[in-house]
Structure 1
Amino acid sequence: MKIGLFFGSFNPIHIGHLIIANTMATSTDLQQVWFIVSPQNPFKKNSSLLHEFDRYTMVERAIADNHKLKVSDIEFSLTKPSYTIDTLTILADKYKEHEFVLIMGEDNLVQFQNWKNYEKILEFYEIYLYPRPNTPAHDFGNHPKVKFVKAPLLDISATYIRKRLQEQKNIKYLVTDQVEAYIELKKFYI
């Protein structure tokens, strides 16, 4: 099976993430998309980062009705911060029957050369890119392993959602009803 891996903090998962994942799962040769919940991104501070199990639960609730989308906790047992190449290697070894593709926003290519062993990622894995607003020029657009996928151009961020919650403003339609209910239940981001 050809599986797209969508890495992220998902703090919280929002409609933009879901639209991208569903577009990849239904408009490309991918049979499934797995959300890889990252305990800690090496490029981000984790000051407002919820516990990984809570973020995992939100992803699980958000995708419960879509059999093409799955969630993985593979990085929870890895050294923090986790690096994409290490996770890809572990998944490829654990699931030899699958072919894995990295899904990422075009904006990530701008700093892609700073990723651990980015050359190995390009050597062994395809990258399916979705457009991101105002992305500066980068050197990887013509790489044979990089494929651009037409997807809606969305500018929704988890940071924006957290800020709205801190200001006690409504987040309806930015996250699924299930995620909104879980955030309210746990009083997250207040």
Structure 2
Amino acid sequence: KVRSAITEIRSSIRTSEAAQNESINRARSFKTKAEEVSTKIGAPCITCGKPYCEEDLSTVKESFIEQARNEIGLAQTSAAAVAQHKARLEKALGIESALVAATPDVSEIISTIERLTNELSALRHREREVVAVEAMVARARTEVNRIMAEANPFLAVIKRHEDNLAANK
């Protein structure tokens, strides 16, 4: 949205500058025509042949001057529009740079995700190893308890030897 607004503002600036330049050029043209009117004093009229006097041409000159003033007014209006558009452009560029600065670095986030995924895989592998060792310890404990619970088949022989040793002393 911000980039499209910036593009639109830049287009408006170009349009307003073009309108300003056109108005300035037309104003110069009307000024030149107004100055040229003075050179026609004493020249014969194209239709009737009567020489032009200053009073005859003053209306024409004033008309050209008025048109030049109107064009200058339009140029000033266009210049004000350009200034306004440039101010809007500066604000939009500021917003855009703030948005860019606030946008997180995607490659850094991806790198962090990869690192955490690898750590999670290692932890899950160790967890499976711990579960396997715990199961092996439980089986060994069960086997030890079973062996401890068995009756020793040599107890009778041991008892007899102990009795013989006690009697022979």
Classify the TM-score, shorter chain. under 0.3
Structure with the higher strand share, 1 or 2: 1
More helix by share: 2
**TM-score, normalising length: structure 1:** 0.16
TM-score by length of 2: 0.17
